Amino acid sequence: MERNSRIFVAGHRGLVGSAIVRRLVEGGYDDLVLRGRDELDLTDQAAVRAFFDREKIDYVILAAAKVGGILANERFGGDFIRDNLLIQTNVIDAAWRAGVRKLLFLGSSCLYPKFAEQPLKEEALLTGALEPTNKPYAIAKIAGITQCQAYRRQYGFNAICAMPSNLYGPGDHFDPEGSHAIPGMIRRFHDAKMEQAPSVTLWGTGTPRREFLYVDDMADACLHLMERYDSEDIINVGPGEDIAIGDLARLIRRVVGYEGALTQDLSKPDGHPRKLMDVSRLFATGWRPKVGLEEGLNRTYGWFLENAAPPAPRPAATTTGEAAE
């Protein structure tokens, strides 16, 4: 991409999209096209086509998606499959029709089969059953990958697909119930610290292992791939290291400074037993992450305190002397 290229970052207000915008600005790209949901409804085909016809976009990074944790996927599966199918179908098709030079589509490690051999190689996609707790989201995103590959084969459209590991960092959604693992834990431990609660409950056994990538590293990888990768084959993006959820919870408890107990609710689902990706294809292109997990957690908690933390509870009112009449 040239520094004066016209680049559309779809989903620029989200976790990944905002990090990509930061990285583009740092890299000197000065013609970014950004539209919020109130300005452009990506589920509206006619609006998306008109936008691409009007704006003359050179490159697209498709970071817009409806995402959430286990609880959100269980409760709103219909929304997840519908909205994601509409967003990606409209954007990919309109980009091709408008002559966009290259598009990057973001998948997820949760698209791989639940019991695929570890570490997850790109070739494992569609070789087994999906994890039931996020099946609607996964099926929608797999359809997006297939669309990119089919448009490349039929129309010569230069679309590439990256498969990030679990992402976290500034700009995340810190809902204690509907968010992903790291922001959800940060919020629960922070609230427990502020309320002086005696314990925090962790869903499941704590034994599943997950791989986490700081979102600014993901943004850096996206630019790297836009400049150096050109294949219909999907490519994994991650640090190549994982951690047990229980160990992650203890690390976040330390970062937050919560001193209470950590308990477990064994009635809740674990999800995938392990998700560690083989990132040898990416590393062979010369890219490596820069931010380790503990450093990334400290940065993320710092951002949360400045931007997303709820107000501290007010102390109970006290009086001295005689009560007023």
Encode pLDDT of 35-71 as tens digits.
Answer: 999 999 999 999 999 999 999 999 999 999 988 777 7
| 190 in a known ligand binding site | no
- Identify any residues that bridge with 168 across adjacent strands, giving them in sequence order: 214
Does residue 186 contact residue 301 with C-beta atoms inside 8 Å? yes
Report the b/e string of 148-179 with b at 16+ CB within 10 A. Answer: bbebbeeeebbbbbbbbbbbbbbbbbbbbebb
Q: Which of 29, 59, 137, 214 is catalytic?
A: 137
248 contacts: CB under 8 Å, gap ≥ 6: 181, 182, 185, 210, 212
| 106 in a known ligand binding site | yes
| 203 in a known ligand binding site | yes
Residue 214: which pLDDT band, with cuts at 50, 70 and 90? very high
Res. 288: pLDDT tops 60: yes
Per the annotation, the verdict on 301 as an active-site residue is: no
| 108 in a known ligand binding site | yes
| 107 in a known ligand binding site | yes
Q: What is the mean pLDDT of residues 19-24?
A: 98
Using N-to-C axis directions, what is the helix angle for 77-97 and 135-155, rounded to 10°? 10
Does residue 10 contact residue 91 with C-beta atoms inside 8 Å? yes
Residue 286: which pLDDT band, with cuts at 50, 70 and 90? very high
How far is residue 140 CA from its own chain's centroid?
15
Query: How many Å apart are CA 110 and CA 127, to the nearest integer?
Result: 13
